[in-house]
Amino acid sequence: MMRQAGKKTVRVGMVGYRFMGKVHSNAYRGVPFFFDTEVVPILQGIAGRDEDAVKREAQILGFATYETDWRRLIERDDIDVIDIVTPNHMHADIAIAAAEAGKHVISEKPLAMTTEQGRQMLDAVQKAGVVHMVCHNYRFAPAVQFAKKLIEEGRIGQIRHIRAQYIQDWLMDPNTPLTWRLQKDVTGTGTLGDIGSHIIDLARFLVGEFSEVVGMWDMIVKQRPLGENSTEMGEVTVDDACSFLARFHNGAMGVFEATRFAGGNRAGNRFEINGEKGSIRWDLENMNSLQVYFQDDEPALQGFRTIHCTGEHHPYTSAYWPTGHSIGYEHTFINLMVNFMQGISTGVSPSPSFEDGLRNQYVLEAVEQSILSRQWVAVQSI
């Protein structure tokens, strides 16, 4: 069905099935509905430890089969791609095993728990010659893609500043239970790696490579209930909030902030970039709009333009609905998966690849070291 007639297909095996499993499944389904890619994904198998749950989710999400051991999924001949939507501490093992089995690999972010892990993962996929990608999806919002285009065309000139935030508020209630995202051994870092890594990716995509950083963080609520109505408490072992200054190789200055204690900011993923000739602003909470300022507009008419990036001239949007009709969060993943399919078609890993994931990890590591050493730390090159 659906544009598959006479087309090459890739059979996807997904490890994990919660929030991100749903997002990825929806994205695979959307690719052939909205786009005419050369390679088309098939939801072939899904793995999870709880058989009842994974069986039910296979049915809802549309997978043909399921496994209760991810290693079994990787062994199967009818799987071409391994998609990793597990907690962070499992990314490396799965990705390396998948690469060694010759599967293309796509992983949720952050790529790894440490730069060492990330390095091993990149080595594995490169050695295996498989296509690899890491899911920094916000790059693929049409408004962000359009920002990239403007920057590449030199429309705002050399970049001087980026200020970027990913600020949320879902941990404000001290009774919100401990989740895996708050435990160091499962997640690596807290806000830094989870949402900080997203704005690092946006900055790398739009501004360039980081040179050095200095940061701070805080653990605001130190203990949380182990479950919804539990009276037993567990330790929070990662940062609740993190901010850092950065210098980029091209000289730009950056100010970054990630927190889950910014009341009223549900998904406050925002940036403003100032260049020699103009500025660009974006906010995920109103994600179809981009604000753009040009210094060479007629003086009396200078001001930020609010552009609804849903027109035929904007990236990706002509695949969806007519101008002015909003798309949402999930479409960033459909667009990402279109790139992944194109990568499989051409054999060239699309950006953000595992290399991007590793570079991101180097920034995360430098921020963490700067916090511990209380001074500026250079970001390692690849």
Please say which residue, 120 or 318, places its beta carbon nearer to a second copy. 318
List the structure tokens of 375: 């001074």
What does 157-198 look like in DSSP terms, one character per residue? Answer: -SEEEEEEEEE--TT-STTSPP-GGG-HHHHSSSHIIIIIHH
Please work out the total of residues on this chain that contact a second copy, with binding judged by CB under 8 A.
98
Q: What's the min distance (Å) between Cβ of 344 and a second copy?
A: 20
Q: What's the min distance (Å) between Cβ of 324 and a second copy?
A: 3
Q: Which of 9, 120, 126, 295 binds a second copy (CB under 8 A)?
A: 295
DSSP state of 379: P
Please say which residue, 186 or 262, places its beta carbon nearer to a second copy. 262
Q: What's the min distance (Å) between Cβ of 42 and a second copy?
A: 12
Give yes or no for a contact between 213 and 377, defined as CB atoms under 8 angstroms apart: yes
Taking CB under 8 A as the binding criterion, the range among 97-105, 124-132, 223-231, 293-301 that sits at the site for a second copy is 293-301
Q: Which of 16, 41, 190, 278 binds a second copy (CB under 8 A)?
A: 278
Footprint (CB under 8 A) of a second copy, residues 49-108: 59-62
Taking CB under 8 A as the binding criterion, the range among 78-86, 113-121, 124-132, 302-310 that sits at the site for a second copy is 302-310
Residue found under tokens 């997002």: 23
Q: Say which residues have a Cβ less than 8 Å from residue 306's Cβ, sequence separation at least 6.
A: 289, 290, 291
Footprint (CB under 8 A) of a second copy, residues 211-240: 214-216, 218, 220
CA distance 308 to 329: 15
Furthest-apart CA atoms within the chain: distance in Å? 66
Taking CB under 8 A as the binding criterion, the range among 67-75, 80-88, 103-111, 242-250 that sits at the site for a second copy is 242-250
Footprint (CB under 8 A) of a second copy, residues 256-275: 257, 259, 261-268, 272, 274-275
What does each C-alpha distance from 61 to 17, 135, 185, 370 come to in angstroms?
9, 19, 29, 42
> Is residue 354 exposed (0-12), middle (13-18) or buried (19+ Cβ within 10 Å)?
buried
Please say which residue, 102 or 306, places its beta carbon nearer to a second copy. 306
Please say which residue, 102 or 322, places its beta carbon nearer to a second copy. 322
Give yes or no for a contact between 14 and 63, defined as CB atoms under 8 angstroms apart: yes
**Residue 250 makes contact with a second copy by CB under 8 A:** no
